[in-house]
Structure 1
Amino acid sequence: MLARRRRLAGRVALLAALAVLAACTGAEESRRPPGRSVTPSVPSPSPSPSPALASPSPTRTVPPPDPVSVPALFTARYDGRGLALRRTLARTDAYTSYSVTYRSNGLRISGKLDVPRGREPFPAVVLAHGYIDPAVYVNGQGMRREQDWLARAGYVVLHTDYRNHAFSAEDPTAERRLRLGYTTDVVNAVHALRRTTEVAVDDDRVGLVGRSMGGGVVYNVLVARPGLVDAAVVFAPVSSRTADNFDRWIRDDPGRSALSDLLLRRHGDPRENPRFWRQVSPRPYFDRITEPVLIHHGAVDATCPLRWSRATLRAMRRAGVDVRLRVYPGEDHAFVALWPQSMRRTTAFLRANL
C-alpha cells in the first residue's frame, strides 16, 4: 500500500515537472520573432553530404553574341578620339565649317564640322546621313540643309562620312556586316566630340539626327549605348526591322546580287533563319533606349513607307520609350514644302531635351 502511494506520488511529481517544462518551452517560443517558423528537429533518414563533398552546381556558359549582330554592339569597346580640323571649308555670318577626321576603332573617319559663333560651350549634334553610293559621295554630303539650320541655331554639328566614304579608311567587310560599322562610327563621333579640345562642346548636351539609312543607324546607336546622348531625331527612317530593308534594297537588286547571295548563303533567308535577322535589327532591343525620340515622316514617302515608322512607333511605345511621330501630308522622302516646319520642330525638341 505504501509502495503504491509512493509510485502514485512519483507519477504526480513527474506530471508536474512535465507541465512546468511545457510552460517554459511555450514561453520561449512566444519570444521568437514574428513570422519565423519553428521547425521540429526530426532525424534525417540518411545523412546529408557535407558542403565540402557536395557536387558543384553546373555553371551556365553564355555564348558570346554573333559578331554580326546588334547585341555585339552592346559590349564593344569604342575609342572615338583625335578629332582634327584638317581644312577650313567656309566661313559664314553664323558659323565656320571644317573638314575633319577622327578615330573609330582603329579606322580614320572623315566628316564635316560646323562651329557656330557665340557663347561657349555649345550644345552639339552628330548627323548620320542616308545612303549615297560611296563611289560618288563627297565630304559632308547628304544633309546640307540640316547642317546649316542647326549650326545657325547654335549647335556644333559633326556630320560623319562613315567608313568607306570621302576621306575615311576602307573597310571591305562593311556591306557583308550589314553596315553595322556605321553605328560604331557614329558612337565614336560622339566620343570624339566630347574629348576634343579643338571646339568647346557642352558634354551634357549632345544629340543625334539621322536621315533615311542614317535613321536606322541612330536606332542602333540608341540601343547599343543607352545614355550616350540626350535626345535623337530621325527623318524618313528605314525600317527598324532589318529584314524589311534587305527585302527592299538588296534581295532583288541586280546590281547587288552577289551581296544578296552571300548574305542568304551565310545567314539564311529571313523566313528560314528569323533569329539571325532579328539580332541584326534594333527593334527587339528598344527597351534599352533611355532617350526621347522624335520621328519625322512624309505621308507619301515612296522610298521608306510610312508604315515602317508607324510600326517603329508602336514597338517603342510598348518598350516604354518617350517617342513621338510627326507625319507630313503630301511630303515624299526628301521633304520640300514642309521641311522648314520639320526643322522648327526639331530645334524645339532639341532645346527641350539637351
Structure 2
Amino acid sequence: MPDGINARPLGAAIAAFVLITLCGCTAASPMPSPGHVSLPSDRTLRSIIEAEPEHPVFEVVQETTDFDGDHADVVSYESGGLLLRAVIRRPPSGAPESPAIVFVHGSVDPDEYSGLTEYDELADALVDSGYTVVVPDLRNHGESEDDPAWETDMDVGATLDVVNAARATASDPQVDAERVAIVGHSLGGAMVVKAAVVAPDVARAVVALAPSHVSPWEDVTRFASGTPFYDTIMAAHGDLEESPDYWRDVSALTFVDRMASPLLVVHGTHDDVVPIGWSRLLTAQWTGAGKDVELIEAEGADHFLNGTAPVAQRITEFLAERMP
C-alpha cells in the first residue's frame, strides 16, 4: 500500500510553475494570447445542469496487463462531442457488481501524461481493496480528443468529462451502479466537487484530495495575476466586476444546494501548492449549507499527501462507511 500519491510527471511541473493547479493550464503548455481565444460565454456549470444529460457507455479499445499482470481495459467513451479514453482496473476477485471509483487526475503536462502510469500506486491499493477503478484521461490528455477551448474554459468541459465517466462507469455490467464514488486530486479534487453539484445522481460519495479552489476566480487571482495567461482569461470572460454572472456560474459554491453526496476532503498541512485554507473554507461553506462534509488535515503532509497515513486507507474507510 502506498504512503502517498504517486504522480511522477506532475512534481517537476509544480516546482517550475504554480499555474499547473488551475484551468487545465500546465507549466509546459504554451500561454495563448488573447487574440487566439474564442469561447462561448454560456459554457458554465449552469449550462451542464440545464443541458440534457448524456448517457455514454464504455467501448473496449485494448486489453492490457501492464499492471503487474493484472487485467485492465483501455476503453473509450463520449463526452460533449469528444471521444475520450480511460483505463479500467478490476479487483482481483473478479466479482460482479463491485463498487467503483472514478479517479480524476490533477493538472499535468499533457505531453507527459499517461493514464497507464498516473497515480498508479494509489490505484493499485484501491483495486486491491475490492474496487473497480476507472481513470479517465480528461480532454486534451493522453489519447483523448482535444478541445480548443480547454485552456480557458475554467474546466467546465473537463467537469462534464468527469460526470460522463461516472455515468459510463455506472452502466458497466460488472459494477454496482448504486456504489460509484468519484475521487480527485488537486485540480481533479475541485472537479469532482463540481461534478457532484451539477449532476447529483452520478456519485454515492465524493473525495477531494488537496483540492484547488472550487471557485475558479480565486485560482485565477492567486496564480495568474500579472501573467499573460491572466490577460487571456480576461479577454475571454472579463473580470469579476465585468462578468459576475459568468464567474458565479462556473463556481461550485453557487450550486452547493444541489449536493447530495457526502464529501471527504483530505489536505496536508504542509501543502505549499494549494493552501489548506481553501479546504477549510470549502468545509465551512458546505457545513453552512447543511451538507455532509468531513475534513482531514494530514499533519506534515505535502501537496501529494506524502508523509501521512496511506491515502488509500483514508479513502476506503470513508467509502466503506458511506457506500457499504
Quickly name the TM-score band, shorter chain normalised.
0.7 to 0.9
For the residue of structure 2 that corresponds to 1:164, the secondary structure is coil
Q: What is aligned with 2:12?
A: none
252, 258, 261: which one pairs with 1:288?
Answer: 258
For the residue of structure 1 that corresponds to 2:57, the secondary structure is strand
Q: What is aligned with 2:192?
A: 218
Q: What is aligned with 2:165?
A: 189
Supply the AA of the counterpart residue of 1:345.
Answer: R
Alignment of 1:200-349 (within 5 A): 200-253=174-227, 257=228, 259-340=229-310, 342-349=311-318
CA deviation vs aligned residue, 1:278-324 (integer Å, no higher than 9, x gap): 22111121111011000000001110000000110110011111000
Alignment of 1:23-172 (within 5 A): 67-90=42-65, 95-118=70-93, 119-172=95-148
Q: What is aligned with 1:175?
A: 151
Cα RMSD for the two superposed structures = 2.0
For the residue of structure 2 that corresponds to 1:351, the secondary structure is helix
Unaligned runs of 5+ in 1: 1-64
Q: 1:272 to 1:66 in 2, by over 3 A?
A: closer
For the residue of structure 1 that corresponds to 2:106, the secondary structure is coil
Supply the AA of the counterpart residue of 2:124.
Answer: D
Question: More relative contact order in 1 or in 2 (CA 8 Å, sep 6+)?
Answer: 2
* Counterpart-to-counterpart distance in 1, 2:51 and 2:132: 27
TM-score by length of 2: 0.82
Which deviates more from structure 2 when the two are superposed, residues 173-182 or residues 200-209? 173-182
Report the CA distance between 1:71 and its aligned residue.
1.2
Residue 41 of structure 2 contacts residue 237 of structure 2 at CA under 8 Å; is this kept in 1? no
CA deviation vs aligned residue, 1:305-352 (integer Å, no higher than 9, x gap): 000001101100111110000001111101122141x32121011111
Unaligned runs of 5+ in 2: 1-39
Report the CA distance between 1:171 and its aligned residue.
0.8
* Counterpart-to-counterpart distance in 1, 2:69 and 2:318: 21
* Counterpart-to-counterpart distance in 2, 1:271 and 1:219: 25
Q: What is aligned with 1:55?
A: none
* Counterpart-to-counterpart distance in 2, 1:318 and 1:87: 46
* Counterpart-to-counterpart distance in 2, 1:288 and 1:345: 25
Q: What is aligned with 2:321?
A: 352
Report the CA distance between 1:92 and its aligned residue.
5.7
> Identity, % of aligned pairs?
31
Residue 179 of structure 2 contacts residue 204 of structure 2 at CA under 8 Å; is this kept in 1? yes
Structure showing greater radius of gyration is 1
Residue 109 of structure 1 contacts residue 160 of structure 1 at CA under 8 Å; is this kept in 2? yes
Report the CA distance between 1:262 and its aligned residue.
2.9
For the residue of structure 2 that corresponds to 1:90, the secondary structure is strand
* Counterpart-to-counterpart distance in 2, 1:266 and 1:109: 25
